[in-house]
Amino acid sequence: MNLQRRVALQHGASVAGLMLSLGLLPGVAHAQAAGFNRAAFDAKTLAEVLKALGAGAPTESKDITLQAPDIAENGAVVPLGASTSLAGVKRMLFLVEKNPSALAAAFDLNEGIDANVSTRVKMGQTSNVYAVAFTADNRVLFAQKEVKVTLGGCGG
Amino acid sequence: MADPMRVRAQVKGTGAEVRVLMAHEMETGQRRDAAGKLIPAWHITEVTAQHNGKPVLTAHWGPAVSKNPFMFFALKSAKAGDKVVVSWKDNRGDSRTDEAVVA
């Protein structure tokens, strides 16, 4: 019985591997085609996300403004906004520390746009949220705030 | 084809504020259906915005962005009549492009 189960498991694994190599698992294939940074979106902590994106250690900065509610009644829709008056911001990230994957969204900005973006994210539980800005001179700055969630937005 | 986006661009000072509301399920891949099986992730992975044909913004999103996502950004210099084009791609290869005129 045990042996059969092992054999079955092995077969299952190799089939999945084959499908992966042939690009048959649709989600994976499309994600790669779109230039989706799987490693960054799988990372669990701020440090891991920054490492996956090839960035250095972050410093907390008062120049980054993170707009987030103190208490979010519904964790499925938490409005987050980040802005800064610093010049030359090329990328801004939103992270939720205690979500299954920390990184929620990354915005790559061109020079034609203000460093001021916002969106809405899901939060599984009360957690710190981070707004991270990458500047053109390779500084990584962040602001953080704790958002209390009364009803989680993951699982269900 | 996915449902259309709502894109609104309004002049503010010398620039314009753009608000986008997309229609998308944004399934996380964490939830289970009634039979206890994981519902596969289905979410927007990439959003791009163009201002008068010039790319200004590329966003990469994970499944943690809310259902029917909202996005706000601000153009540094824009005037009434300028064209703003927003498009998204999801992890199933579906995509959608909509445009708005700055008012």
Mind listing the pLDDT tens digit for each residue in A63-96? 899 999 999 888 889 999 999 888 888 899 999 9
pLDDT at A24: 42
pLDDT at A20: 45
* Contact at CB, A101 and B64, closer than 8 angstroms: yes
Closest C-alpha to A126, from A105, A107, A154, A148: A148
Chain A touched by B62 (CB under 8 Å): yes
Is residue B1 assigned to a domain? no
Q: Cβ(A125)–Cβ(A149) under 8 Å?
A: yes
- The average pLDDT across A109-128 equals 90
Residues of A in contact with B44 (CB under 8 A): none
Is residue B63 assigned to a domain? yes
Percent of chain A with pLDDT over 70: 74
Query: What is the count of structural domains for chain B?
Result: 1
Q: Terminus-to-terminus CA distance in chain B, angstroms?
A: 28
Residues of A in contact with B72 (CB under 8 A): 81, 116-119
When pLDDT is cut at 50, 70 and 90, the band that residue A124 belongs to is: confident
When pLDDT is cut at 50, 70 and 90, the band that residue A42 belongs to is: confident
Q: Distance (Å, rounded) from C-alpha B9 to C-alpha B16?
A: 6
User: Which of A111-120, A143-152, B50-59 is the least confident region?
Assistant: A143-152
pLDDT at A66: 92
Q: pTM, whole model, 2 decimals? A: 0.79
Report DSSP letters for B3-41, one per residue: PPPEEEEEEETTEEEEEEE-----B-S--B-TTSPBPPP
When pLDDT is cut at 50, 70 and 90, the band that residue A117 belongs to is: very high
Report chain A's mean pLDDT, rounded to a whole number. 78
> Which residues is A69 bridged to in the sheet?
none
Using a CB–CB cut-off of 8 Å, the residues of A that contact B are: 26-27, 30-31, 33-37, 40-41, 76-79, 81, 96, 99-101, 103-114, 116-123, 153-156
Q: Which amino acid is at B81?
A: G
Inform me whether the pLDDT recorded for A31 exceeds 50: no
CATH topology of domain A38-149: Immunoglobulin-like (2.60.40)
Report DSSP letters for A11-57, one per residue: HHHHHHHHHHHHT-SHHHHHHHHTT--HHHHH--SHHHHHHHTT---
Residue A79 CA neighbour count, 13 Å, CB half: 8
| Domain carrying residue B53 | 6-101
CATH number (domain holding residue B68): 2.60.40.10
Low-confidence residues in chain B, pLDDT < 70: 1
Count of Cβ atoms closer than 10 Å to residue A121 Cβ: 28
Q: Cβ(B24)–Cβ(B44) under 8 Å?
A: yes
Residues of B in contact with A41 (CB under 8 A): 60, 62
pLDDT tens across B63-85, in order? 999 999 999 999 998 989 999 99
pLDDT at B71: 94
Q: Distance (Å, rounded) from C-alpha A12 to C-alpha A9?
A: 5
When pLDDT is cut at 50, 70 and 90, the band that residue A7 belongs to is: low
Residue B103 CA neighbour count, 13 Å, CB half: 7
Query: DSSP character for A61?
Result: -
Closest C-alpha to A56, from A146, A137, A144, A143: A137
Q: Distance (Å, rounded) from C-alpha A42 to C-alpha A137?
A: 27
Domain residue ranges of chain A, discontinuous segments joined by +: 2-33, 38-149
* Contact at CB, B66 and A36, closer than 8 angstroms: no
Inform me whether the pLDDT recorded for A29 exceeds 50: no
Percent of chain A with pLDDT over 90: 29
Alpha-carbon distance B49 to nearest alpha carbon in chain A (angstroms): 10
pLDDT at A26: 42
* Cβ-Cβ contacts under 8 Å for B53 (sequence gap 6 or more): B83, B85
Sign of the CA dihedral running B56, B54, A27, B65: positive
